[in-house]
């Protein structure tokens, strides 16, 4: 079952332009499915560099003159190269074909930015447009729910379908938003497969990590601390690893879209914590599976931290799909006043407290410091995560 994606329009914009498209995202977020859907009816050729035969076919074409190379591949209107980072020379070859003004569009797909982004930056400078595809947005997951009519507004759904919305939200908090997981009758099994070596296969194949056990232990520690400030020194001590090694592993996990970091917001280091960070998972289902804590019980002991991770990930996903126009932070003063999420876009600031319980929390300290009222995001209105654009209806 295909679920309509917000990324369809950015992809169409890339195809309408004169740049090489670079589409990045974790494994199984639906990059290939998205491209196949958008290119339905168009003469496209797909190469997957996880397949040796496709690699060989590409190398053979690269040995020819650009026009002959395209002819050997069937003269496609669009050439799609999946797992493009598997072949280091991919972007250099595609750059040559692009510069030869061949009558074809090129899309490079990658489940890792470890090499692909670096290659693209070097070989395709000024010639590429990137699209980061995260797991499904909450509004996208609603498309598989019969009761969530596409023309219904968020206000209508919150008012008339509150029980269904609450139940479905708890499912997404627990199982996450990978497309197959959302539509599966057995999401637990799928998550276990995803949260095994498969998700960080790219990290392991770099040779920088010799065993998946270290990655799993690091991820388990992060999963336990989601929503809390994380000390890399403490992680290194607990894992009995050198701090530079932990930093490198965290970077690798970021580059493969498993986790992302939220730095602290500060314009006054004397009064505010300026060097702290929090680490969140792009998908809460992966986090829960790692902890073996798959439960849709809203009274689970970690519900507050889980809700915070889910909301911040939703905002981060929307920001990524828009090309990251905003910077995301958390805030804590030395007097221990806190704000869960600070969004800086241009000269504008917005601040959010993310609370599962209805208990009111004062945002006076941040308001006094920055003249910005703190907004609240609670589970009775999960659509409040749509902070970048105002939408009509719940569809995006």
- Domain 8-132 fold: Rossmann fold (3.40.50)
For the entire predicted model, the pTM comes to 0.92
Give, to the nearest 10 degrees, the angle between helix 284-291 and helix 303-321: 140
User: Residue 141: which of 186, 190, 184 has the closest Cα?
Assistant: 184
Is beta strand 20-24 parallel, antiparallel or unpaired with respect to 128-132?
parallel
Question: How far, in whole angstroms, is CA 342 from its chain's centroid?
Answer: 19
Cα separation, 68 vs 56, whole angstroms: 16
DSSP 8-state assignment for residue 395: -
Domain positions in the chain are 8-132, 138-385
Q: Are 148 and 157 in contact (CB under 8 A)?
A: yes
Cα separation, 81 vs 101, whole angstroms: 18
User: Residue 148: which of 174, 167, 133, 134 has the closest Cα?
Assistant: 167
Quick one: tokens of 359?
């208990």
- Which 3-state string (H, E, C) describes 128-166? EEEEECCCCCHHHHHHHCCCCCCCCCHHHHHHHCHHHHH
The burial class, CB within 10 Å (0-12 / 13-18 / 19+), for 306 is buried
DSSP run (H or E) holding 355:
none
What string of pLDDT tens digits covers the 396 residues of the chain?
889 999 999 999 999 999 999 999 998 999 999 999 999 999 999 999 999 999 999 999 999 999 999 999 999 999 999 999 888 889 889 999 999 999 999 999 998 765 655 565 567 778 889 999 999 999 999 999 999 988 899 999 999 999 999 999 999 999 999 999 999 999 999 999 888 876 777 777 766 676 678 888 899 999 998 888 998 999 999 999 889 888 888 988 898 899 999 999 988 877 777 678 999 999 999 999 999 999 999 999 999 999 999 999 999 999 999 999 999 999 988 888 899 999 999 989 999 999 998 877 778 999 999 999 999 999 999 999 999 864 433 443
Cα separation, 82 vs 155, whole angstroms: 40
CA distances from residue 239 to 51, 242, 367 in whole angstroms, order as listed: 36, 9, 39
CA distances from residue 389 to 177, 183, 343, 381 in whole angstroms, order as listed: 21, 27, 14, 16
User: Residue 148: which of 131, 165, 123, 127 has the closest Cα?
Assistant: 165
Cα separation, 372 vs 369, whole angstroms: 8
């Amino acid at each position: 079952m295909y679920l309509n994606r917000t990324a369809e329009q950015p992809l169409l914009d890339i195809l309408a332009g004169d740049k090489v498209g670079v589409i990045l995202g974790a494994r199984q977020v639906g990059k290939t499915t998205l491209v196949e859907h958008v290119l339905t009816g168009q003469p496209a050729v797909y190469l997957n560099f996880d397949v040796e035969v496709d690699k060989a076919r590409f190398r053979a074409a690269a040995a020819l003159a650009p026009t002959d190379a395209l002819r050997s591949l069937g003269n496609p209107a669009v050439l799609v190269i999946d797992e493009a980072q598997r072949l280091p020379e991919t972007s250099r070859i595609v750059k040559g074909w692009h510069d030869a003004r061949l009558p074809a569009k090129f899309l490079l797909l990658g489940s890792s930015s470890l090499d692909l982004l670096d290659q693209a930056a070097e070989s395709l400078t000024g010639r590429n447009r990137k699209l980061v595809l995260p797991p499904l947005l909450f509004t996208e997951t609603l498309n598989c729910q019969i009761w969530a009519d596409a023309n219904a507004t968020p206000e209508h759904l919150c008012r008339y379908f509150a029980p269904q919305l609450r139940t479905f939200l708890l499912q997404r908090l627990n199982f996450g938003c990978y497309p197959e997981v959302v539509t599966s009758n057995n999401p637990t099994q799928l998550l276990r497969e995803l949260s095994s070596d498969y998700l960080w296969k790219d990290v392991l194949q770099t040779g920088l990590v010799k065993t998946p056990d270290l990655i799993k232990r690091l991820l388990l520690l992060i999963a336990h601390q989601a929503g809390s400030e994380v000390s890399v020194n403490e992680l290194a001590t607990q894992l009995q690893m050198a701090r530079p090694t932990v930093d490198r592993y965290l970077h690798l996990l970021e580059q493969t879209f498993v986790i992302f970091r939220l730095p602290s917001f500060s314009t006054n280091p004397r009064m505010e914590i300026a060097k702290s960070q929090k680490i969140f998972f792009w998908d809460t289902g992966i986090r829960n599976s790692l902890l073996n804590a798959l439960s849709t019980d809203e009274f689970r002991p970690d519900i507050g931290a889980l809700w915070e991770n889910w909301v911040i990930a939703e905002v981060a996903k929307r920001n990524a799909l828009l090309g990251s126009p905003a910077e995301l932070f958390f805030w804590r003063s030395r007097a221990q006043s806190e704000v869960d999420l600070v969004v800086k876009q241009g000269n504008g600031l917005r601040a959010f407290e993310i609370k599962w319980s209805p208990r009111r929390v004062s945002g006076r300290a941040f308001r006094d410091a920055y003249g910005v009222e703190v907004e609240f995001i609670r589970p009775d209105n999960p659509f409040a995560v749509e902070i970048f654009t105002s939408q009509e209806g719940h569809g995006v």
